[in-house]
Amino acid sequence: MSTQTSPEPQKPVRRITVPQIAARKGGAPIVSLTSYHAHTAAIVDRYADFILVGDSLGMVMHGMESTVGVPLDLMIMHGRAVVRGTRRALVVVDMPFGSYEESPAMAFRNAARVMKETQCGAVKLEGGARMAETIRFLTDRGIPVMAHIGLTPQSSHVMGGFRTQGRDAESWPVHEADARAVAEAGAFAMVLEGMVEPLAARITQAVPIPTIGIGASPDCDGQILVLEDMLGLNPRPPKFVKVYGELGNLIEDAVRRYAEDVRARAFPGEAQVYR
């Protein structure tokens, strides 16, 4: 008689779709986190409506000073890992700096690569009115686009750093025009990053697609955080981050105890060796 048990049947992949996210405008808040690798994505998948493979991975995973240096191939590699590790949430992959701004045709070529090679459900790109033509070009050709306005980290060199937007009410019409332009161009949702709360609330009221806030407003249609920030792995998290776990301390404690065990020849112990 065989002692082998049959493998667990694979759970079917049934992902939240782009139209389902778009339909959440004004409804139950949309939950989102970033993730860059399969194991964390599998955990996030159980709770998030969409997972963003953000180009923040350049800073978080690869120690870059900004997101400007992130290459397209790196986004595709991490995007694939997150899609493989998940079955429920919509996966959105960031288009990195330099991969879409030059022309709509260039944006399509690179976004199509991202969609084909990662099997993700949508891409995200930064920029308001100036990106409207590109957003229209992509959505008309089958590529769902999440827009990203307000503080756009890929433009941090032009902005002079990571600056909260809308502190001066005179700038509000520009941000509002950006929001209207990306919605009219066909974006299915937009990230509002690093902007004063009343401006984010006003934009949320004004546009017909969900707004996803990060350092924005509780009135946004959803919220997103960088996973490592909310897990306590960033030693200097931005003001808008609420830390939900102290993973940095947990990891340090585990590494310290492991080092002590190895030095004391207490690891590997009887349970960890093959006799």
Residues contributing to the site for ligand KIV (CB under 6 A): 34, 52, 54-56, 94, 148, 191, 193, 214, 224, 226
- Catalytic: 65? no
Which position among 8, 117, 184, 193 bears the catalytic label? 193
State which residue has the least CB distance to ligand KIV.
54
Give me the half-sphere count of Cα atoms (radius 13 Å) on the Cβ side of residue 147. Answer: 34
Q: Pick from 34, 62, 37, 38: which is nearest to 50 by CA? A: 34
By C-beta, is 3 or 207 nearer to ligand KIV?
Answer: 207
Q: For the CB of residue 81, give the shortest distance to ligand KIV in the complex, in Å.
A: 15
Question: How many other CB atoms are there within 10 angstroms of residue 264's CB atom?
Answer: 8
Burial of 119 (0-12, 13-18, 19+ CB in 10 A): middle
Q: For the CB of residue 44, give the shortest distance to ligand KIV in the complex, in Å.
A: 13
By C-beta, is 56 or 165 nearer to ligand KIV?
Answer: 56
By C-beta, is 4 or 126 nearer to ligand KIV?
Answer: 126
Query: Per-residue DSSP letters for 144-202?
Result: -EEEEEES-GGGHHHHTSS--B-SSGGGHHHHHHHHHHHHHTT-SEEEEESB-HHHHHH
Q: For the CB of residue 263, give the shortest distance to ligand KIV in the complex, in Å.
A: 38
Q: For the CB of residue 166, give the shortest distance to ligand KIV in the complex, in Å.
A: 17
Give me the active site residues, please. Answer: 193
